[in-house]
A = this chain, B = another copy of it.
């Protein structure tokens, strides 16, 4: 463990029991705009970030670079209001449907996937 997995957290033990974390204690969390379907960004959650996301209604991630919890929008104002949260079939990925205020990307783009489209067929 690298200190990212803060167990025990207040996450529902029934969820914690089936969550399959990577070696660093994290799971990838896909943020999707709930009405348009846009994939906005991918963040990372440990148990406590998932708990805070579920309990506060504000998407909360673990920043791997800053090594701290990160409530999306606290600095930028670009808040993600949580509409639904689901685990995938292997319980190793989270899909968070949100209402994204403003830009999801720190570059100012609406999504983090707008700028770097790769060429196919080569």
Partner-B contacts on A (CB < 8 A): 12, 15, 22-23, 28, 30, 32, 36-39, 41-42, 54-55, 57, 82, 84-91, 93, 95, 105-107, 109, 112-122
Which residues on B sit within 8 Å (CB–CB) of A38? Answer: 37
Which residues on B sit within 8 Å (CB–CB) of A117? Answer: 84-86
Q: How far is the CB of A105 from chain B (nearest CB, A)?
A: 5
Query: Which chain B residue has the least Cβ–Cβ distance from A51?
Result: B122
Docked Cα-Cα span, A39 to B55, in Å, equals: 23
Contact A36 B37 (CB under 8 A): yes
Contact B86 A118 (CB under 8 A): yes
Contact A89 B109 (CB under 8 A): yes
